[in-house]
Amino acid sequence: MSAFSNVTSGGAQQLRLLHRGLSTPYCLDPTPMLERQQQQESNARSYPRRIPLVLERAHGIYVQDSRGQVFVDCLAGAGTLALGHNHPVIVEAITQVMAAGVPMHTLDLMTPVKDAFVQEIFGCLPADFARNARIQFCGPSGADAVEAALKLTRTATGRHSVLAFEGAYHGMTLGTLAISGNLSPKNALGGLMAGVQRLPFPHDYRCPFGVAGEQGVTLNVRYLEHLLNDPESGVTAPAAMILEPIQGEGGVITAPDRWMQELRRLTQAHGIPLIVDEIQCGIARSGRMFGFEHSGIVPDVITLSKAIGGGLPLSVMVYNDSLDVWQPGAHAGTFRGNQLAMAAGTATLRFIRDEGLVAHAETAGAHLRKQLLSLQSEFDWIGDVRGRGLMLGMEIVDPQGAPDAQGHPPVDTARAKALQQACLQHGLIVELGGRHGATVRFLPPLIITEQEIDFVAQILFRAASAISERARG
């Protein structure tokens, strides 16, 4: 008997109605708006190609489109909506700021709203990092925080090269593209930042050395150690190393704790500032407040965005004050003083702390992983389930394809796309990522309950069954 057979469609519908908190459904034809979007928006638009919806209302983990259909949102603004859509504490925080008449635009001038946000951020940091930390407010996107980190470490060290990793995603500016892995947005561009040395990222299921587990970690560390110690390696002394504790866009690949510890040892031994990009995996997402905390290391620089603004644009860089040698104005931006985002961010961080959402992300994530593993046991084309906390992924494979060096079948991009579309038809929004877009990604709001996770699993089972039946037919 299927592990999902005890979840009835009637029960799922009741759950949907119980939790959605949405008003009477709309009945608006989305076609004209979608056609105008196609005609008027840039060809660079991405999400609407895979998720062609006109969204009208949202509450918690649910969104409702213009036709009245309700979807479970397991994309959640690419992890931005930590508390889901229109959470009361965020709405209240924004409303209070607007009613108080505080300035909406302050550049980097101080306000009580800003001070409260800074104190909340520092209160979230590990104590041994916070005691010597400085914060830089950046432009509203996470990419600008990464740009700031590159400029800071280059200035502080007087060096220029950067160590970055295969599969990384750090943004879409010229600088951040240079240190990111995905080739697609880079192929048409010239003049990317020079001096980037690409390194293999440990990947248990698709190990770059063709092995797995601890042996793969050991080979990875030895390669890096050789690169840094060999006077003929061709790699100049780096200004920084940058990494994600969990590669999101790269396919939900978790950095092993021992590997993180070894990298911290090597970077400290060679005087290389370590930048940890926590833009997607930070703020409780992984089951710790920050992804690097799983390994117990202390980085030199942390970049933050997405969830810290409570759904509004905001990004910061937090770093060890020993690096704070750059001059006034060395990094600036007009929209560094977003008071609404700071207020929403403060409310979000307090709610996460007061309601124990860090621990909840760990336990809810374990429940979601269990459901995904059950799904894997039902469908042989789910090759791998991975991630941490509420940042999980399933790699979709072709079980009939030629296996790789580790004996794993090749990815199946077409089936991954079909699963995403089947999920959408059944009321679930998920995103694809990873190599060849074959990893189905889950980034639900941190407030998701185990009952709602069961509902997600039931939709996944229906969608997976549908595409398997089509393949057999």
**Catalytic hit among 169, 205, 223, 319:** 169
Tokens, residue 88: 């009361």
Kindly write down the DSSP assignment for every residue of 229-297, as one continuous string: H-TTS--PPEEEEEE-SEETTTTSEEPPHHHHHHHHHHHHHTT-PEEEE-TTTTTTTTSSSSGGGGTT-
Measured between alpha carbons, how far is 246 from 359 in angstroms, rounded to an integer? Answer: 18
Buried b (16+ CB within 10 A) or exposed e, 36-49: eeeeeeeeeeeeee
Instruction: Give the C-alpha separation, 103 to 208, whole Å.
Output: 52
Q: CA-to-CA distance for 251 and 426, rounded, in angstroms? A: 24
Identify whether the C-beta of residue 399 lies closer than 8 Å to the C-beta of residue 372.
no
Q: Rounded to whole angstroms, how far apart are CA atoms 306 and 283?
A: 9
Q: Please answer whether residues 14 and 49 qualify as being in contact, where contact means their C-beta atoms are separated by less than 8 angstroms.
A: no
SS3 of residue 369 by DSSP: helix
Residue 169 annotated among the catalytic residues of the structure:
yes
How many Å apart are CA 240 and CA 263, to the nearest integer? 12
Q: Specify the pairing of strand 238-243 against strand 161-165.
A: parallel
DSSP state of 127: H
H-only helix segments in 21-134: 31-40, 47-50, 76-79, 88-100, 112-124, 127-130
Match 């229109």 to its residue by tokens.
86
Angle of helix 88-100 relative to helix 339-354, nearest 10 degrees, comes to: 140
Closest to 26 in 3D by CA, of 53, 61, 49: 53
**Residues with Cβ within 8 Å of residue 54, at least 6 apart in sequence:** 28, 30, 33, 34, 65, 66
Residue that has been written with the tokens 């793969």 in this structure: 216
Question: What are residue 301's DSSP bridge partners?
Answer: 275, 319
What is the distance between the alpha carbons of residues 337 and 139, in angstroms, rounded to a whole number? 9
161 neighbors 237 (Cβ within 8 angstroms): yes
d(CA 68, CA 64): 6
- Active-site residues, by number, are 169
